[in-house]
Amino acid sequence: MHSINDILNNIKTKKIELDNLLKSNLLLAYKLIFEQFPHIKSFSFVGYTPYFMDGDPCVFGLNGDIYKINGEVFEDWAESNPNWKEFTDLVIDVNNLFESEIQKLGEGEYIVSYINNNVNIKVEYYDHE
């Protein structure tokens, strides 16, 4: 017979395993995106946790847009890159699928995540204040 502590410990272990699996798959997905689009060396996007929602829960969300590509503001970069939509759609699909993992990258009201083609992720934090 199992005790409640056995069950809780098993769940904790499984959650850690799942978190590790999700994080490694997020990094693999970014790596494959860079392989598919070798001319792209880096991109960034914005995540946001509101500090006030008029009584509703304050829940992390992604802006949905790419903020910068190869250090350029997205709109400027897209003007000279005809396959921009294919790239951005793919990144947005990956980000939406792994949103909970992206949230774990950093704490703060705003986070800007920069990912380079070595799949190094740098997160900057911004607050409303």
The pLDDT tens digits for 17-71 are: 998 999 899 999 999 999 999 999 998 887 776 666 566 776 666 666 777 889 8
What integer is the mean pLDDT of 1-10? 91
**Whole-model pTM over 0.85:** no
Question: How many domains is the chain built from?
Answer: 1
Number of H helices, E strands in the chain: 4, 5
Closest among 37, 61, 9 to 117, alpha carbons compared: 37
Q: What is the spatial distance between Cα 19 and Cα 17, in angstroms, rounded to a whole number?
A: 6
Q: Which residue has the tokens 């190094």?
A: 120
Backbone angles phi, psi at 116, to 5 degrees: -110, 175
| Domain encompassing residue 51 | 4-126
Q: What is the spatial distance between Cα 69 and Cα 115, in angstroms, rounded to a whole number?
A: 10
What integer is the mean pLDDT of 11-20? 93
